[in-house]
Amino acid sequence: MKLLAVETATEACSAALFIDGVVAERFEVAPKDHTRLILPMIDSLMGEAGLKPQQLDGLAFSRGPGSFTGVRIATGVIHGIALGADLPVVPVSTLAAMAQNYFDKNGGDIAFTAMDARMGEIFWGVYHRDADGFAELLGEEVVGYAEHIGFPDVCGIGLGSGWASYQQQLSNLLSWRVESCVVDDVLPRAGAIARLGAYHFQLGRAVAVEQAMPVYLRDKVAKTEFERGKI
């Protein structure tokens, strides 16, 4: 199987190519440079593999949550390739990619993922590693105040920038359920998007490009100034 993945939802920008279980990746932390970097990353990966888009089986992208602009960049790039090459697409959660990357590197079975969403809120989701080794959501992904999030009765690690910003509130709420917190080197990566994308593709979860939509969680961010009543 051959699948191309992109991830631009945070300050990191990355692309990855999954070929029969082997992942090649380009990754760079470069806030505000995603538009400049992502297409050369894709061209480099495809060139090294000697592939054209039409030779791929599918595509995957980080559908959010994350930066509004960043999520739109990944969506736009993947939509363009999918339309040009008539390829199916797998939207993958940014939080799932964070959990997957941690599980792949460190083991563990439960990740309480939290990304700083600004405005005093976090993007939140709890993931466990399923029988096949892939991150699976427990409950729902939400955006809200750290002290108001919900969680299942499980134990695991705290993961992501939300823990750096709101560790006290989250630790008070989750108490003994959190074994440790990891806030460094946890940015989502296209390699994890590619692995999750290939897994979901094989399970028949790919969709047509028209259905491959971003997920912002904070709905009002995606609305126009008129819809928000500002003009």
Q: What is the pLDDT of residues 85-100, one digit of tens each?
A: 999 999 999 999 999 9
| Axis crossing angle, helix 94-106 with helix 190-202, rounded to the nearest 10 | 100
pLDDT band at 122 (very low <50, low <70, confident <90, very high): very high
CATH topology match: 2-93+188-222 vs 95-182 = yes
Q: Which amino acid is at 211?
A: Q
Distance CA 144, CA 146 (A): 6
pTM here is: 0.92
Distance CA 41, CA 32 (A): 15
Non-local CB neighbours of 29 within 8 Å, separated by 6+ positions: 11, 12, 13, 187
Q: What is the pLDDT of residues 54-68, one digit of tens each?
A: 999 999 999 999 999
The helix/strand count (H/E) of the chain reads as 5, 10
> Is residue 38 within 8 Å of residue 47, measured between CB atoms?
no
The reply to whether omega before 65 is within 30° of 0 (cis) is yes
Mean pLDDT rounded to a whole number for the chain:
93
Per domain, the residue ranges of the chain are 2-93+188-222, 95-182
Q: What would the CATH number be for the domain defined by 2-93+188-222? A: 3.30.420.40
Distance CA 85, CA 77 (A): 12
pLDDT band at 185 (very low <50, low <70, confident <90, very high): confident
Give the CATH number of domain 95-182; options: 3.30.420.40, 3.90.550.10, 3.30.365.10, 3.40.50.970: 3.30.420.40
Non-local CB neighbours of 118 within 8 Å, separated by 6+ positions: none
pLDDT band at 230 (very low <50, low <70, confident <90, very high): very low
Q: Which amino acid is at 84?
A: G
Tokens of 193: 């998007």
